[in-house]
Amino acid sequence: MASSNPPIIRVRDIMSKTLITINGMATAKEAADTMRAKQVSSLIVEKRHKDDAWGLIAVQDLIEGVIIPGRSFKEVHVYEIMTKPVIMVPADMDIRYAARLLHRAGIRRAPVEENRELIGMIAMRSLILDHDLF
């Protein structure tokens, strides 16, 4: 009797391979300008050294850390408003588990890693809207 289980789709199969990084010392204005120019809603914040953790800055961080409190985009640094450390998603994880992980963590996107290297980004939007997965 043949199994009716659908094939497993891995995070690496649907992740975005576009990774745009920014230095934590950059200003919120530089982050916003980079997001606008690259048409992305988040940036990976570079490690300061090899044993450091990756960070992430998203549009929501700019809203909550700069716009709502009325701070200057030119005076706020990325490191002040970024999320760090970030939840990393293994490239070989089944997308059903990745969706559950993102949902339970209350996040919309996460970097993808393989062999301790950053190789892409996964977004809740991609899991649901960008692919005919379900």
- Local structure of 93: helix, strand or coil: coil
In this predicted model, what pLDDT tens digit does every residue of 26-39 receive, in sequence order?
Answer: 999 999 999 999 99
**What's the whole-number mean pLDDT along residues 111-124?**
93
Determine the pLDDT at residue 16: 92
**Dihedral sign, CA of 56, 49, 10, 97?**
negative
Tokens of 95: 């997308």
In this predicted model, what pLDDT tens digit does every residue of 47-103 receive, in sequence order?
Answer: 999 889 999 999 999 999 999 999 999 999 999 999 999 999 999 999 989 999 999
Residue type for 62, please?
A: L
CATH number of 11-130: 3.10.580.10
Q: Who contacts 9 (Cβ-Cβ below 8 Å, separation ≥6)?
A: 94, 95, 133
